[in-house]
Amino acid sequence: MVKIFNYRQITRNFRREIEAAVKGKTSSLPFIVHRLSPTPLVEDGEKFQVLKIGGSILQNGLVYKKGQAVIVESLEEEHLPIFSTGKAFLALVKSHLRKNIKVLAINFAYPLKPRLENNRLDGVLIGGSKEHAFSGLVGKQVGAEIEKFIKLKFNKQIMVCLANDTICLALSGLGTSSPVGLAGGIVGTGMNFAFFLDEHSLVNLESANFNKFPQSPAGLQVDSQSIKKGEALFEKEVSGAYLFQHYNLRLGKEFSKIESTHQMDKAARGEINGDKMLARELFKYSAQLISCQIAGITNYKKRDMVFVMEGSLFWVGYNYRKTVEESVKSLTKYKVKFKEIKDCGIVGAAQLVV
């Protein structure tokens, strides 16, 4: 385990990694800068469509702009199919596109290289995931490909903007606080942070890749048994996809192994038989490490911050949010507020065009 005094050092290391990335120096943070459209792409009151594509859920919203606010008129959810090919993805977008819609914004939870073109944010697909290969679409500009496909099928010109889920999460906080003091954080199955650099640009840190911290013995073992060894080391130490594996590796023989971090939460609360103290210790450890990234961003920005947060680990994990709030206070002199925004994935993507 990390000794308590080391959390301050990890926070300093994280801030330094941000500073190095800003200067174009070597950093474990990919630091992907996104520039936003300088002008709105929809009129006040004009209805447009938003899709949230990622994980196992597809969200489909009809949205309009009212002054500075984004109003979600209707929202549907369904199970997301597997996209083995780019064609399957394009066909899904086509089948969900509403009539009379000219503008489509997409929250796209896959690796993208952002591209601002014709005043709208688009992205080149860097690669698929284990489940979604997107063959034929990798290396192509996703929004432009959708526009071409819709033009070909319907002889209809639409405008498509898209960004990844962490960028959309940060964007969802617009209107509730000043952009320069706004960040977004996902702490659930995976983890990542994004924050505004100025009013018209923000950065996706891909902070799962941060590696300037001492890995725990269990963390080293989790990494050695993973498919992508040496990658996303911070995520393997703290996120819901891996935390229960730490528990299983450290568990005494008198207890049964568990299959999820949700089960670890039940063990921590004494709702199922398990090592309650170990489960609690691991939630605390994860929350304290996450606090280092939050405080590191805040200290880099040198100002009070609002973090829009998403992820069940952060919001409902055993004592998790309380531990983060207390730890952040000890790691920065600035005030940090945490906010949960309803339909943040849809609202955030909508901000790409309003």
pLDDT digits (tens, 9 = 90+) for 183-242: 999 999 999 999 999 999 999 999 999 999 999 999 999 999 998 899 999 999 999 999
Instruction: Please enumerate in sequence order all residues whose Cβ is within 8 A of that of 101, keeping only pairs 6 or more positions apart, or say none.
Output: 47, 48, 49, 158
CA 81 to chain centre: 20
Read off the amino acid at residue 15: R
Q: How many helices (H) and strands (E) does the chain have?
A: 12, 13
**Per-residue model confidence (pLDDT) at position 175:** 83
Where does the chain hold its CATH 3.40.367.20 domain(s)? Answer: 6-30+174-341
Alpha helices in the chain (DSSP H): 6-22, 86-96, 142-154, 165-171, 217-224, 233-238, 240-250, 261-268, 276-301, 312-316, 320-331, 344-350
Name the least confident of 95-99, 108-112, 127-131, 135-139: 127-131
Give the tens place of pLDDT for each residue, 331-346.
Answer: 999 999 999 999 999 9
**Per-residue model confidence (pLDDT) at position 320:** 99
Rg (CA), the chain: 21
Start-to-end CA distance of the chain, whole Å, equals 46
Q: What is the mean pLDDT of the chain?
A: 96
SS3 content of the chain, % helix, strand, coil (to 5): 40, 25, 35
What's the fold here for domain 6-30+174-341?
A: Hexokinase; domain 1 (3.40.367)
Q: What CATH superfamily classification does 35-163 receive?
A: ATPase, nucleotide binding domain (3.30.420.40)
**Per-residue model confidence (pLDDT) at position 85:** 96
Give the tens place of pLDDT for each residue, 273-332.
Answer: 999 999 999 999 999 999 999 999 999 999 999 999 999 999 999 999 999 999 999 999
In angstroms, the CA 276 to CA 41 distance is: 52
**Per-residue model confidence (pLDDT) at position 5:** 52
H or E segment to which residue 114 belongs: strand 112-117
Instruction: Please enumerate in sequence order all residues whose Cβ is within 8 A of that of 256, keeping only pairs 6 or more positions apart, or say none.
Output: 273, 274
DSSP letters for 191-221: EEEEEEEETTEEEE--GGG---SPPPHHHHH
In angstroms, the CA 352 to CA 154 distance is: 24
Where does the chain hold its CATH 3.30.420.40 domain(s)? Answer: 35-163
Alpha helices in 113-213 (DSSP H): 142-154, 165-171
